[in-house]
């Protein structure tokens, strides 16, 4: 009776073992996206310029300036910026790493062969066995195939593929983050260029007015109506204003060269595109920040940090799998013969088969320590994800306040300039008629120039805060599209070819 049941018992055991080898299990924690709480609305809940105007689309936020030159520069940077191209190359590298990791699930097959000729020494250790006439040379031909296949019983390979899939997705988010930063830097640099051009134009306008005051002082001095002090003070005021122009030109040149780097062009051709227009761009649409929760979906750096946390979690399972035995199947088949005529005979066939098992019984605690390392890296990645959300909230709040307050400051400066311009006209007339000292003329001219300088600076700060806001919001791409633009289409094609194992759909 026992003899009859024994084959059935062995068959069941063999079936269970085979099922375990083929099906296996996946050790380690499954990734769960950390829960992040964001405020319901922004503390500095500022809506843009005019509630009646349409809101600027976050995907192409630079269009709110309605500036064709800026649009052209953004497009040039998208096509030619080298940093963006390097980020794209990093995505291709991550894609290749994912494919490399996925290949571990498949068997490896190799082929090899050799032809050898040997002859034993007649005077060597086998000399007593030498036939009459001595040993003859012997030839041997060998060709064969060998294969090996590791059964991923405990999910080490699956976890590594899962980690590489998350890293690949993180590299796509890094590419998008570079794109967001690039568009913002192009816009800020363009605003700086127009700001320096406006400062130069403003200084030159004031130079004309101050030169007229110098002529007036010289005429009155020649007529004996005033002292030479008025002339020297007028010269001092004029040349001080002239001295500011070279510094603005230095900054303008630096900004133009920076723009050339961003757009991957030479500065000469770029100057022709930008031209000389001392007028700062003005938003033609309202500036809106949406709700804080949208940051988790829109900010590429937050999305990247979340994917890195997923990769770190998967590596815990890969490390824990080293605590369990590894099962594999190895074998080889080939032909071996001393003669060409018999090389392809069935009698020349050689083969081997093996099912090796390896288990790290003692490693000095290194495997457990490696698990602890991966757990600590997971904890760091999750904390980095949470920190990136806090940093994003801070950036948006600061940009909102900066935009609002700089526009308030602009309003006050405009009113101050209106009053100062009238004062300059009045005090000049009074000086011409000998009703006031030249000091009053100089003071009002200096005040006007300083206020106009502050107004341009405030306008630049206001526009910079608009750019900072949309950069903080992650503007410049659409989460609903797989990837934007021609460069992204290359990644999109690679995404379509990526094996589904270990990869989640990128949204």
Report d(CA 338, CA 343) in Å as an integer: 8
Residues of the chain by 3-state class (helix, strand, coil), percent to 5: 65, 10, 25
Integer angstrom CA distances of residue 4 from 1, 13, 141, 468 = 5, 16, 49, 81
Q: What is the pLDDT of residue 378?
A: 94
What tokens does 287 get? 């500036």
SS3 of residue 368 by DSSP: helix
Q: What is the pTM of this model?
A: 0.82
Q: What is the pLDDT of residue 71?
A: 93
Paired with 138 in beta bridges are 118
Give the contacts of 47 (CB within 8 A, at least 6 positions apart): 286, 287, 288
Query: Is residue 17 situated within a structural domain?
Result: no
498 or 434: whose pLDDT is higher? 434
Query: Is residue 361 situated within a structural domain?
Result: no
Query: Is residue 128 situated within a structural domain?
Result: no
pLDDT band for position 13 (cuts 50, 70, 90): very low
The arithmetic mean of pLDDT across residues 23-27, rounded, is 74
Q: What is the CATH number of the domain that holds 91?
A: 1.20.1600.10
Report d(CA 31, CA 412) in Å as an integer: 54
What tokens does 453 get? 């300088």
Q: In the predicted model, is pLDDT for residue 108 greater than 90? A: no
CA atoms lying within 13 Å on the CB side of residue 501: 15
Q: In the predicted model, is pLDDT for residue 484 greater than 80? A: no
pLDDT band for position 258 (cuts 50, 70, 90): very high
Q: In the predicted model, is pLDDT for residue 48 greater than 80? A: no
Query: Is residue 334 situated within a structural domain?
Result: no
Q: What percent of the chain has pLDDT over 90?
A: 34
Report d(CA 102, CA 193) in Å as an integer: 49
State how many domains the chain has.
Answer: 1
256-265, 280-289, 489-498: range with highest mean pLDDT:
256-265
Q: In the predicted model, is pLDDT for residue 14 greater than 70? A: no
Residue whose C-alpha is closest to residue 163's, from 28, 380, 311: 311
45-49, 133-137, 310-314, 403-407: range with highest mean pLDDT:
310-314
Among the ranges given (78-87, 253-262, 333-342), the one the predictor scored with the smallest mean pLDDT: 333-342
Q: In the predicted model, is pLDDT for residue 330 greater than 70? A: yes
Query: Is residue 438 situated within a structural domain?
Result: yes
Q: In the predicted model, is pLDDT for residue 101 greater than 70? A: yes
351 or 497: whose pLDDT is higher? 351
pLDDT digits (tens, 9 = 90+) for 160-195: 898 999 999 999 999 999 999 999 999 999 999 999
Query: Is residue 116 situated within a structural domain?
Result: no
Query: Is residue 142 situated within a structural domain?
Result: no
Residue whose C-alpha is closest to residue 83's, from 13, 17, 182: 182
Among the ranges given (274-283, 309-318, 336-345), the one the predictor scored with the smallest mean pLDDT: 336-345
Q: What percent of the chain has pLDDT over 70?
A: 88
Q: What is the pLDDT of residue 332?
A: 86
Query: Is residue 345 situated within a structural domain?
Result: no
Q: What is the pLDDT of residue 153?
A: 85
Give the residue numbers spanning the domain of 97: 28-107+154-324+369-497
pLDDT band for position 486 (cuts 50, 70, 90): very low
What does pLDDT average to over the chain?
83
The arithmetic mean of pLDDT across residues 289-294, rounded, is 81
Q: What is the 3-state secondary structure (H, E, C) of 108-134?
A: EEEEEEEEEEECCCCCCCCHHHCCCCC
pLDDT digits (tens, 9 = 90+) for 125-135: 777 777 887 77
Q: What is the pLDDT of residue 10?
A: 52
């Amino acid at each position: 009776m026992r003899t009859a049941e024994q084959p059935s018992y062995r068959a069941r055991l063999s079936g269970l073992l085979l099922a375990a080898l083929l099906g296996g299990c996946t050790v380690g924690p499954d990734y769960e996206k950390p829960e992040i709480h964001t405020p319901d609305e922004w503390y500095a809940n500022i809506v843009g310029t005019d509630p009646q105007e349409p809101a600027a689309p976050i995907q192409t936020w630079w269009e709110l300036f309605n500036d064709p030159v800026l649009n052209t520069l953004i497009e040039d940077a998208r096509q030619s910026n080298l940093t963006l191209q390097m980020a794209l190359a990093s995505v291709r590298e991550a894609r290749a790493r994912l494919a490399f990791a996925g290949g571990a699930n498949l068997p490896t097959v190799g082929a090899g062969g050799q032809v050898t000729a040997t002859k034993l020494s007649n005077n060597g250790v086998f000399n007593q066995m030498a036939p009459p006439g001595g040993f003859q040379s012997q030839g041997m031909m060998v060709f064969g195939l060998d294969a090996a296949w590791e059964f991923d019983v405990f999910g080490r390979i699956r976890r590594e593929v899962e980690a590489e899939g998350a890293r690949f997705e993180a590299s796509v988010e890094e590419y998008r983050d570079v794109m967001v930063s690039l568009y913002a830097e192009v816009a800020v640099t363009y605003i700086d260029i127009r700001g320096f051009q406006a400062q130069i134009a403003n200084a030159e306008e004031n130079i004309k007015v101050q030169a007229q005051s110098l002529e007036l002082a010289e005429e009155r001095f020649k007529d004996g109506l005033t002292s030479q002090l008025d002339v020297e003070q007028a010269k001092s005021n004029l040349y001080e204003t002239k001295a500011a122009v070279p510094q603005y030109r230095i900054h303008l040149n630096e900004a133009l060269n920076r723009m050339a780097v961003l757009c991957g062009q030479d500065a000469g051709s770029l100057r022709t595109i930008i031209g000389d227009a001392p007028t700062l761009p003005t938003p033609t649409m309202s500036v809106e920040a949406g709700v804080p929760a949208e940051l988790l979906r829109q900010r590429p750096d937050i999305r990247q940090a979340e994917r890195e946390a997923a990769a770190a979690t998967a590596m815990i399972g890969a490390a824990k799998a080293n605590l369990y035995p590894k099962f594999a199947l190895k074998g080889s088949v080939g032909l071996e013969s001393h003669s060409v005529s018999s090389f392809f005979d069935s009698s020349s066939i050689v083969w081997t088969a093996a099912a090796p098992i390896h288990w790290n019984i003692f490693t000095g605690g290194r495997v457990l320590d490696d698990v602890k390392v991966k757990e600590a890296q997971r904890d760091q990645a999750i904390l980095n994800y949470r920190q990136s959300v806090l940093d994003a909230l801070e950036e948006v709040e600061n940009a909102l306040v900066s935009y609002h307050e700089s526009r308030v400051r602009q309003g006050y400066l405009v009113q101050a300039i209106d009053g100062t311009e009238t004062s300059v006209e009045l005090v000049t007339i009074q000086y011409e008629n000998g009703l006031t000292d030249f000091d009053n003329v100089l003071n009002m001219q200096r005040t006007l120039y300083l206020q106009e300088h502050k107004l341009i600076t405030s306008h630049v700060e206001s526009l910079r805060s608009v750019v900072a806001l949309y950069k903080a919001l992650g503007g410049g791409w659409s989460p609903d599209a797989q990837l934007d633009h021609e460069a992204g289409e290359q990644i999109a094609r690679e995404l379509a070819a990526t094996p589904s194992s270990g990869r989640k759909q990128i949204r």
